[in-house]
Amino acid sequence: MEALDRSQKVEYLFVGSGEPFEGILHVDPEAVSRFRRAPFIVRNRFLWQPQAVELAARGQLDAIIFLGNPNFISTWVAAWIARRRSIPVLFWEHGWRRREGRIKSKLRLLFFALADRVLVYAPRAKHLGVAAGYPEDRIDVVYNSLDYAASDRLYSLISSGELSDVDPDSFFDEPGRPIIICTARLTSACRFDLLLEAVDILRAQGTRCNVLLVGDGPMALALRELAAARSLPVHFLGACYDERILSQLLYRSTVTVSPGKVGLTAMHSLMYGTPVITHDNDDEQMPEVEAIREGVTGARFKQNDPQSLANVICSWIRPDVDRKSVRSHCREEIAARWCPEVQAKLIESAILKVLSHGQA
């Protein structure tokens, strides 16, 4: 939002509830120059945002970007009104994550037909959208990002030795081994049981490593019991939201492993130069998985296969891996595509295209 707000070509009005929702904190409305509060009503899985409809009907706007979520019933209405007023409409959404059934696919196409352009997170979403029948020239890939500037400042402090008060090696009885880290909620979908099984396989093969899990969740107790039963070196740090601590943990770990789907965890890890391993089934992945370039910024293993995961981990924790080169590749990937400034420019470009009927 702050990167968009710095645009010299587009003046943005940001519209949101201003309140947390389902455990997700709301951005500070004061972070941008123009913010309007627009509460929404929730009934079952559907949402209604009255001010969105009002803005579409009466707002003096050149274009509107909506969250491309069909469960926002108000968006169906507001987008239709905006189009009737000749106000271009853009939807910003994950987009297509997998091939969909006939009914769901037709419903999505019907909804997305209300938009002049659709902004999606990654190239695969565009490919799937075109395959589903949506016009290729109306889909723009805008990627995703975290706070790159803040992370870059911390990275500089860590790499220069000015920030060195957190050392993940200190959590383990046998420091000096490669550290496998993951920062995520401990849920069944994350499949950390698979990671522990892979680490057990590696130990049986003579390759030892330490595991650091940063997060809490419903699987915490079961994972602790599994680690204890197999006498595996796993440290459960619990939930942590302090970026100063997280940055050092990620920087000083060898590899991030997310056995289930991976999303912003990949962004977070690559920012600090740590490669990412996750499974190979794109239909059950998040868009951010596309930041993982095989053998460059990480790798993929055969989904649900602990031996495959063990093999891939082993290839990344070998002592002959050029850690400096890997770190550089990881950060280059984020800087090139997955940072706020890049996102803002791509979104700005899409807006200018729609205002000039695709000619910009």
Query: Are 290 and 307 found together in one domain?
Result: yes
pLDDT digits (tens, 9 = 90+) for 61-119: 999 999 999 999 999 999 999 999 999 999 999 888 888 888 988 999 999 999 999 99
User: Quick one: 147 exposed, middle or buried, by C-beta within 10 A (0-12, 13-18, 19+)?
Assistant: middle
Answer yes or no: are the C-beta atoms of 304 and 138 closer than 8 Å: no
186 within domain boundaries: yes
Query: Are 311 and 349 found together in one domain?
Result: no
116 within domain boundaries: yes
Query: Do the strands 46-48 and 41-43 form a parallel or antiparallel pair, or are they unpaired?
Result: antiparallel
The CATH number of the domain where 346 resides is what? Answer: 3.40.50
360 within domain boundaries: no
Answer yes or no: are the C-beta atoms of 73 and 111 closer than 8 Å: no
Instruction: Tell me the C-alpha distance between 180 and 256, whole Å.
Output: 6
Instruction: Tell me the C-alpha distance between 67 and 324, whole Å.
Output: 39
Instruction: Tell me the C-alpha distance between 110 and 113, whole Å.
Output: 5
pTM reported for the whole predicted model? 0.88
pLDDT digits (tens, 9 = 90+) for 9-62: 999 999 999 898 877 888 899 999 999 999 999 998 899 999 999 999 998 999
Query: Are 333 and 344 found together in one domain?
Result: no
Query: Are 158 and 85 found together in one domain?
Result: no
List the domain range (segments joined by +) for residue 224. 148-337
Query: Are 224 and 102 found together in one domain?
Result: no
Q: How much is the mean pLDDT over the chain?
A: 94
The CATH number of the domain where 294 resides is what? Answer: 3.40.50.2000
Percent of the chain at pLDDT > 70 equals 99
Query: Are 124 and 159 found together in one domain?
Result: no
Query: Are 164 and 309 found together in one domain?
Result: yes
Query: Are 155 and 292 found together in one domain?
Result: yes
| Phi-psi domain of 274 (left: phi exceeds 0; alpha: psi -120 through 50; beta: other) | beta
Instruction: Tell me the C-alpha distance between 121 and 106, whole Å.
Output: 21
298 within domain boundaries: yes
The per-residue pLDDT for 226 is 95
The per-residue pLDDT for 360 is 42
240 within domain boundaries: yes
| Phi-psi domain of 169 (left: phi exceeds 0; alpha: psi -120 through 50; beta: other) | alpha
pLDDT digits (tens, 9 = 90+) for 268-282: 999 999 999 999 999
Query: Are 264 and 301 found together in one domain?
Result: yes
Q: How far is CA 92 from the centre of its chain?
A: 14
250 within domain boundaries: yes
The per-residue pLDDT for 22 is 79
80 within domain boundaries: yes
The per-residue pLDDT for 21 is 84
Mean pLDDT of 190-207: 95
Query: Are 139 and 152 found together in one domain?
Result: no
Query: Are 22 and 133 found together in one domain?
Result: yes
3-state secondary structure the chain: CHHHHCCCCCCCCEEECCCCECCECCCCHHHCCCEEECCCEEECCEEECHHHHHHHHHCCCCCEEEECCCCEHHHHHHHHHHHHCCCCEEEECCCCCCCCCHHHHHHHHHHHCCCCEEEECCHHHHHHHHHHCCCHHHEEECCCCCCHHHHHHHHHHHHCCCCCCCCHHHHCCCCCCCEEEEECCCCHHHCHHHHHHHHHHHHHCCCCCEEEEEECCCCHHHHHHHHHHCCCCEEEEECCCCHHHHHHHHHCCCEEEECCCCCHHHHHHHHCCCCEEEECCHHHCCHHHHHCCECCCEEEECCCCHHHHHHHHHHHHCCCCCHHHHHHHHHHHHHHHCCHHHHHHHHHHHHHHHHCCCCC
Q: How many domains does the chain have?
A: 2
294 within domain boundaries: yes
Percent of the chain at pLDDT > 90 equals 89
The per-residue pLDDT for 97 is 86
Query: Are 127 and 198 found together in one domain?
Result: no
The 10 Å Cβ neighbour count of residue 153 is: 14
Which one, of 62, 50, 14, lies nearest residue 35 by Cα? 14
